[in-house]
Every structure is written in C-alpha cells, then in structure tokens.
Structure 1
Amino acid sequence: MPPTLTLYSSNRCPYAHRTRLTLTEKGLAFNRVEIDLDHKPANFNEISPYGKVPVLLVEEGGDRLRLWESMIINEYLEEAFPEPALLPRSAGGRAVARIWIDFINNQFTPAFYKLLLAQDAARQDQWRQTLHDHCRFLETEVLNHGGDYLLATGFSLVDIALYPWFERWETLSHYRGFPLPADCPRLQTWLAKMNGRGTVQAWRNDPQQYLDDYRAYANNTATTTTAQALRSD
C-alpha cells in the first residue's frame, strides 16, 4: 500500500501552495489539514518546529516521517515518487535547478514581501526597483533558452517554486502600484503557460482573497513568521 500523506497547509501561504502543487502534479492522494495562521492550534509547534506551514507527515506501516520547509518536502516527493519527473535527470541539470530555486528563495521572494511591508515612499521605490531587477534577471538569465518554462527541459520544481507569488501579484499592483513589468514578455508568457495548467487551476484562489489576506502586510501589521523575520532582516 502507498504511504498515507497528510499535509498541514494554509490557503493563503505561498510556501504551502508549492507543496499542494507538487502533490497534485505527482497525482498523489493526500489529506489536507488547514491551519489558520492567525490562530494556530495550541499544539501546532509539536507538529511544526518552526511554527510554519507546510508540514508533511508520511506514515507507512509503523513508520512516521515528519518533514517541513516547502522545497525540502518537494524534493523528497520527487525522490520518493519519481514519476512524473519534476527535476532534470542529470546531476548538472539538477544543480542548475537548485541555483534558480535558491535565487527565488533568497532574492526574489524577500523582495516581494519587503515591497509590501515598506511604508515610506523611498523604501517602496527601492524595493520596486529591486523586484523589477529580479524580474529582468528571470527574463534575461533564466528564460533565455526559448522554452515555455523556467528550465529548458520543461516544467519542473523551479516553476512550482516561483509561481505562487505570481498568483499573488495583484497584491503588489493594488497596494504598491507595481504591475508585472511590461519589459518582461517572456515572463508574461511563462505566467500564461502556468495559468493554463490544470493543476494550477485546481488550487487557484480568488484575487480578492489575496487582497484581503495581504492587507496586513501592506499595513505592516502582519504577525506571520515570514513578516516578523523580514522586518528584522
């Protein structure tokens, strides 16, 4: 029998969104436990040592494995359930994928949040420029191979790593006047391709929900672990 998979997730969280997409792309059945990040269960730190989602529980026979951090979970799923493949087969191809994932995690997503959290005009301008530069990097360095997805080999965990923030991009347009840059046509084509995937459509939320969810970021009153970490960064 296949293992029982239980995902602790939050609908608003882009990191949990990554793992929902990966599980769905793999065609894996899983139980989903929705966590209200503003009112976490009293025992949640017993489930998630960092107090964050996603957390994946894997139960098979008498064994129980608990995993956290979205891309670590996603790479586990790639190794444990290798079909369909979501990373290149070659060691070099996987290394390149991890380089782009590192850029997304450590450059792109912090800039997204810092723009939302910034309250004064000068800081907002700074983070608009930084995020625009990151979009141009994706346009010229990552999507320069002429394919539809971020890797020349096709759809992968790299696309999954990036996409959730683009589904939430309307928050930047609405609260910070920063639409997806017009000088990034490859990036816009990539987004259209992603939006056409059935797995993406299965988990898509109403844009108004994101505007409601991220209002606290725009007002700099968000209390999530991510917001607190980026304020102190």
Structure 2
Amino acid sequence: MSLPTLYSFRRCPYAMRARLGIMLSGQSVDLREIILKHKPQAMLDASPKGTVPVLILQDGSVVEESIEIMCWALAKNDPSDLLLQRRPALQEVAQALIQTNDDSFKPWLDKYKYADRHPDMSEQYYRQQGESFISQLENLLTKNQQLLADKPCIADYAIFPFIRQFAGVDKTWFDNAAYPNVQRWLTSHIQSDAFTAIMQKYPTWLESNQSFEFGEQHKS
C-alpha cells in the first residue's frame, strides 16, 4: 500500500513540526523535499496556497496545516501522550500556547529575522516584541522541565522550532540573555534524537524525482 506524501522544506519551522509529529507517532510518509523558489506543480495542484508542509493522504485528501498534520499522525499513535489525552486539563493551555506562537510571536519573529525588510522599526524593537513570548515560556519553564510538565507535549514540539529560529538571528545575544530555562529547554530539543532525525538532508524532489520513506523506523 502506498504511503501518504509529505511535501516539506527542511529549514521551515512549520515543516519541522509536521515531521516531528510524524516521527514521534511512528508513522511513515513519502517525503518530498522541495525548493521554495521552484515549487512542484503536483504540490500546487494539491494545495494552491503553495506553502509547506502539505500532506496528501492515500485517499487523495489534503492536510495542509502543520498542527493538523501533527494531530493526524498522533491520533493514529501517541505513545508519549503528546496530545494530552491523559491530562485533559492541559489541552486548552497547550492549544493557547501554540496559537500565541503562531498568531503573535511568529509575525514579530519574521520582522526580527528580516529587519532590513521592515525599516519602520529597529531589529532591537522587533526582538523586544518577540521577547514577551520568550518571557512567558521562561516563566513556565521555572515550574517544569518542559512547558507544561516534566515531559514534553505537543506544545513543546510545535513551538521549539520557532524559538530555535529566534535564537539564531543573534546567537550571541540569545546565549547571554536572561532566559536560562528557555536556553536549557531549547538545547535539549535541538540535541534530541528526534530532531537530529527530522533534520536529515535529502535530495530535492525536482532534482532527483525521488521521494524518500520517512518515519520513526528510519530514525538514526
């Protein structure tokens, strides 16, 4: 039986979270690594919005939001209870954190990362706006090893790729900023086996015309 097809871009934090959900659920997909400047027509036919990730299921249905891809995979198998089914009181908190990341933090992150494209304000100003969310995470991480408990949940895996991107804009500043718990938390995820596995490099789809089976069993 054919596998679902995942269009992905290695460095995109949305695609990272989708790959993490698939990896941690033990699912397998045919991974097609794309180049954003040369999007495959097959991907655009399936999802005209033209952003990654895009998951095409065996029945032809399309899942084109990264959180929905995570939930699709984890609904099939969630051995670590990342969806918090055994901790329902935390589900709304996790959802709210992810929404704040996506709706509030991400726009400031983009302006901080590409401050030269947004000359109305300084890079420092955009960083300070993003810091309000970093401070929120720092406060949570004073109470637990992970955002909502001592074990990670969907919120940790959905958010840390974006914090990684924020940290990378000015690594010297971030490493010396007053966020020791966020720094510890981020490092632990970046150094994890799961992240190492999802960041493996693959030839691009347009260059090789090949997809690659991707999933938990291919974890290095």
Specify the TM-score bucket, using the shorter chain as the normaliser: 0.7 to 0.9
Trace 1:90-101 onto structure 2 (pairs within 5 A). 90-101=87-98
Trace 1:173-192 onto structure 2 (pairs within 5 A). 173=170, 178-180=173-175, 182-192=177-187
On the 8 A contact 1:135/1:181 being kept in 2, the answer is no
Query: Structure 1: which amino acid aligns with 2:178?
Result: D
On the 8 A contact 1:128/1:178 being kept in 2, the answer is no
CA-to-aligned-CA distance 1:168-196 (integer Å, 9 cap, x gap): 3464117xx74255211111111122123
Q: What is the percentage of aligned positions where both structures have the same residue?
A: 29
Displacement, 1:81? 2.3
Tell me how far apart the structure 2 counterparts of residues 43 and 58 of structure 1 sit (CA, whole Å). Answer: 14
Tell me the C-alpha RMSD between the 2 structures: 2.4
The residue number in structure 1 matching 2:40 is 41
The residue number in structure 1 matching 2:131 is 132
The residue number in structure 2 matching 1:164 is 161
Query: Structure 1: which amino acid aligns with 2:81?
Result: A
Tell me how far apart the structure 2 counterparts of residues 29 and 83 of structure 1 sit (CA, whole Å). Answer: 15
Displacement, 1:88? 1.2
Q: Does 1:71 align with 2:70?
A: no
> Does the residue aligned with 2:32 lie in a helix, a strand or coil?
strand
User: Taking structure 1 as reference, are residues 123 and 180 closer, same or farther at Cα in structure 2, changes over 3 Å only?
Assistant: same
User: Taking structure 1 as reference, are residues 126 and 6 closer, same or farther at Cα in structure 2, changes over 3 Å only?
Assistant: same
The residue number in structure 1 matching 2:217 is none
Query: Structure 2: which amino acid aligns with 1:34?
Result: E
Tell me how far apart the structure 2 counterparts of residues 170 and 79 of structure 1 sit (CA, whole Å). Answer: 31
Matched residues, number: 198
> Does the residue aligned with 2:60 lie in a helix, a strand or coil?
strand
User: Taking structure 1 as reference, are residues 159 and 93 closer, same or farther at Cα in structure 2, changes over 3 Å only?
Assistant: same
User: Which of 129, 146, 149 is the aligned partner of 2:146?
Assistant: 149
Query: Structure 2: which amino acid aligns with 1:195?
Result: I
Displacement, 1:83? 2.7
CA-to-aligned-CA distance 1:104-142 (integer Å, 9 cap, x gap): 1112222111112222384322212112222112111x3
> Does the residue aligned with 2:123 lie in a helix, a strand or coil?
helix
For structure 2, which runs of at least 5 residues remain unmatched after alignment? 202-220
User: Taking structure 1 as reference, are residues 205 and 78 closer, same or farther at Cα in structure 2, changes over 3 Å only?
Assistant: closer
On the 8 A contact 2:7/2:43 being kept in 1, the answer is no
On the 8 A contact 1:54/1:70 being kept in 2, the answer is yes
> Does the residue aligned with 2:39 lie in a helix, a strand or coil?
coil
User: Taking structure 1 as reference, are residues 30 and 43 closer, same or farther at Cα in structure 2, changes over 3 Å only?
Assistant: closer
- Which structure's relative contact order is higher, taking Cα pairs within 8 Å and 6+ residues apart? 2
Query: Structure 2: which amino acid aligns with 1:143?
Result: L
Tell me how far apart the structure 1 counterparts of residues 159 and 175 of structure 2 sit (CA, whole Å). Answer: 14
Could you tell me the TM-score, scaled by structure 1's length? 0.75
> Does the residue aligned with 2:61 lie in a helix, a strand or coil?
strand
> Does the residue aligned with 2:31 lie in a helix, a strand or coil?
strand
